[in-house]
Amino acid sequence: MAEPQLPEPPAHLALGVDVGGTKIEVSLVDVNGRVVRAQRQATDAVRGPAHVIGEVVALVDEALHRADAAVDAVGVAVAGQVDAQGTVRGAPNLEWTDVPLRDELERRLARPIVVLNDVRAAAWAEWYHGAGRGMRDVVVLFLGTGIGGAAVTDGEMLDGATNTHGEFGHTTLVAGGRQCHCRNRGCLEAYCAGWSIAERAQDAARADPEGGAALVRLAGSVDQITSGTVAAARTLGDRLALALVRETGELLGAALVSVINALNPQRIILGGGVMDGFPELRELAEAVARAQALPAPLEVVEIVPAALGNHAPAVGAAAAARRLRALRPPREPVRGTAGPWPAP
Amino acid sequence: MAEPQLPEPPAHLALGVDVGGTKIEVSLVDVNGRVVRAQRQATDAVRGPAHVIGEVVALVDEALHRADAAVDAVGVAVAGQVDAQGTVRGAPNLEWTDVPLRDELERRLARPIVVLNDVRAAAWAEWYHGAGRGMRDVVVLFLGTGIGGAAVTDGEMLDGATNTHGEFGHTTLVAGGRQCHCRNRGCLEAYCAGWSIAERAQDAARADPEGGAALVRLAGSVDQITSGTVAAARTLGDRLALALVRETGELLGAALVSVINALNPQRIILGGGVMDGFPELRELAEAVARAQALPAPLEVVEIVPAALGNHAPAVGAAAAARRLRALRPPREPVRGTAGPWPAP
């Protein structure tokens, strides 16, 4: 007699959306963080938030209809500041201000939606499916054009009072030091982000034209030196570039001391374009942290590279939605909008 | 007809114990954090942990028997590093190493006991009954001989991976700066603690003997200048002392920028002997923070003085015990001890 045919277990798929200044990505993600299917299209940001939201709705609707299995949750990551109500307070690359994205999406899709900042979403992905899997205390730092991050402590991704917990790029590393793009001086970002590595290299090349000759030759002029120039020059063995990288590693290490002592994580995950371009920074920074942090938190902490790539925001939005959906009571579709932004 | 006599509602008292290098304090605390009755005695630390634990047991037993109402919970604050199992890993003033305090107390008192670090306990007190009452996102900083603290985020007091979350005194404020008592350079504690204010004042008086004359006169010699000397001199209008206080405020402000941006609290509570001696530091530091932190977290944050005094560790231990007791399953009294420390 044939075995009875049991129905397939539900796949527990979730949908993650990444809304950035240049593209909208919609990914169908399984419980292991694997992208089952993805679709992306250019963001037509100049046509305004109503248009972009319409595009997101259409893409999500299509993805929901195409999914073979039931989709448990939908999460949307946005390259901007998102408050606890899912309103995008500001998104420079999208030119959005006070857009009630969650309310709009819930109204139009008639289902609960989780909306979160894209850096936080990428941190969710690293925690749930990447280098922090299964851990209760994780700090994720992304060093790229800017520096952002997020912290999981005692098993919870922390939000803070205005949903902006984890702006580690804007912690003071050198009081009174280099001017940051924010209003503070001496931020971590003012030393270890892409733009600040470029500025430090330009300053160094101006101060030492002989030492900086290779950087200038590679870049074309002092003003055109980028962090990529520094990366290329250090590969060629250029001494100034190597010194800059070493100094960057030491400064990042001093920042990791703060993270270790203040936040006591099991793992610090380092990702982003700067880490991809200068992978040696992890070891340089770790050496400083091992020599200088407090013994108790040092006992357990590991400092590791990020495991996921460009899809992390979409994958993390799906993970966050899966988890947070359960914590929020189901709500009626919103009629009308809450914010000053006109509904489409 | 007389009203029927209803029994008094239970008072929900908890017992908080503060075990320090010089005294043991046992306080009966009501749900509002009011100390109903307190007893203290000198710590005979030289007789070793078994003796001190015996004294704690006797004091707690007595307090439990004298309490008119049922005592819900017992919490013990210790001036040392406490792990998640309630073992005191190190307590310099008590000269304790790896003392399984929670297990011992639970065995001998046959009830659940919460054991925690005294700074964390004082932070519990400020959160539950002091300047952070009713808030979900609070950072407490105590600036005294050293600098310690704790963070409540999203409604939970954070522990971290080794129970040492919140060592904000040992975050890097000036990379490569003044040597701290820990192994790091440029810690917040190396600038704004009692000892470091004294050292900075001594350095300043040596560098500028004329400007430092008043400090030296008050202290007796350069080496005897303390933070108290600086406090006295600035009251007399001494310019060097005033400059030191102003600089300390600016440095503390730069540290508050980090706390605001990274941890996004509703309230930062500043307490400890340095704040008592230099209350103007709060305003000086707040001015810097308001000018330099990120707009979103600044919108909500308040920077306020601590509301409670010396009893805070005992009061906070009681509060923590009341809350955490409910989170931990009741356990059998422990037979024998877990650690390398011999049982009494």
This model of the complex carries an ipTM of 0.91
Question: What domains are defined for chain B?
Answer: 13-117+313-325 (3.30.420.40), 131-305 (3.30.420.40)
Sheet architecture: strand order including A96-99:
A81-82, A88-91, A96-99
> Is any Cβ of chain B less than 8 angstroms from the Cβ of A161?
yes
pLDDT at B58 over 90: yes
pLDDT at A217 over 80: yes
CB contact at 8 A, B267 and B138: yes
Give the pLDDT confidence score for residue A331 in this predicted structure.
Answer: 44
- Percentages helix, strand, coil for chain A (3-state, rounded to 5) are 40, 20, 35
Could you give the CA distance from residue A220 to residue A224 in angstroms, rounded to a whole number?
6
Q: What is the DSSP letter of B272?
A: S
pLDDT at B194 over 80: yes
Residue A170 to residue B261, Cβ atoms within 8 A: yes
Give the pLDDT confidence score for residue A342 in this predicted structure.
Answer: 37
pLDDT at A228 over 90: yes
> Is any Cβ of chain A less than 8 angstroms from the Cβ of B68?
no
The four Cα atoms B229, B230, B231, B236 give a dihedral, to 10 degrees, of 90
Which of A263, A266, A301, A328 to probe by mutation at the B interface, max B CB count within 10 Å?
A263
- Nearest Cα residue to A37 out of A72, A68, A76, A78: A68
Give the pLDDT confidence score for residue B332 in this predicted structure.
Answer: 45
Could you give the CA distance from residue B310 to residue B325 in angstroms, rounded to a whole number?
24
Collect all residues of chain B within an 8 Å Cβ-Cβ radius of residue A167: 261-262, 264, 294, 297
Sign for the CA dihedral angle at B81, B124, B326, B17 comes to positive
Whole-structure pTM value: 0.91
CB contact at 8 A, B54 and B344: yes
- Nearest Cα residue to B204 out of B234, B166, B184, B182: B234
- pLDDT per position as a tens digit, A255-303: 999 999 999 999 999 999 999 999 999 999 999 999 999 999 999 999 9
- pLDDT per position as a tens digit, B81-114: 999 999 999 998 999 999 999 999 999 999 999 9
Helix or strand run (H / E) with residue A33: none
- pLDDT per position as a tens digit, A91-122: 989 999 999 999 999 999 999 999 999 999 99
Instruction: Write the residue in B156, B176, B296 that is nearest to A164 by C-beta.
Output: B296
Give the pLDDT confidence score for residue B67 in this predicted structure.
Answer: 86
Q: Is A158 helix (H, G, I), strand (E, B) or coil?
A: coil
Could you please report the per-residue DSSP string of B12-70?
A: -EEEEEEE-SSEEEEEEE-TTS-EEEEEEEE--GGGHHHHHHHHHHHHHHHHHHH-SS-
Helix B227-235 to helix B239-263 angle (10° resolution) is: 120
Could you give the CA distance from residue B76 to residue B86 in angstroms, rounded to a whole number?
10
Residue B162 to residue A254, Cβ atoms within 8 A: no
Q: For chain B, what percent of residues have pLDDT higher than 90?
A: 87
- pLDDT per position as a tens digit, B220-271: 999 999 999 999 999 999 999 999 999 999 999 999 999 999 999 999 999 9
Q: How confident is the model at residue B344 (pLDDT cuts 50, 70, 90)?
A: very low
Which of B171, B179, B246, B268 to probe by mutation at the A interface, max A CB count within 10 Å?
B171
Residue B264 to residue A165, Cβ atoms within 8 A: yes
The residues near B102 (Cβ < 8 Å, ≥ 6 apart) are B76, B85, B86, B87, B113, B114, B115
Helix A194-207 to helix A227-235 angle (10° resolution) is: 70
- Both tokens of residue A328? 């929020």
Compare all CA atoms of chain A with the CA of B266 and give the residue at the minimum distance.
Answer: A161
Residue range B129-152: mean pLDDT, rounded: 97
- pLDDT per position as a tens digit, A298-341: 999 999 999 998 899 999 999 999 998 755 554 444 343 333 34
> Is any Cβ of chain A less than 8 angstroms from the Cβ of B287?
no
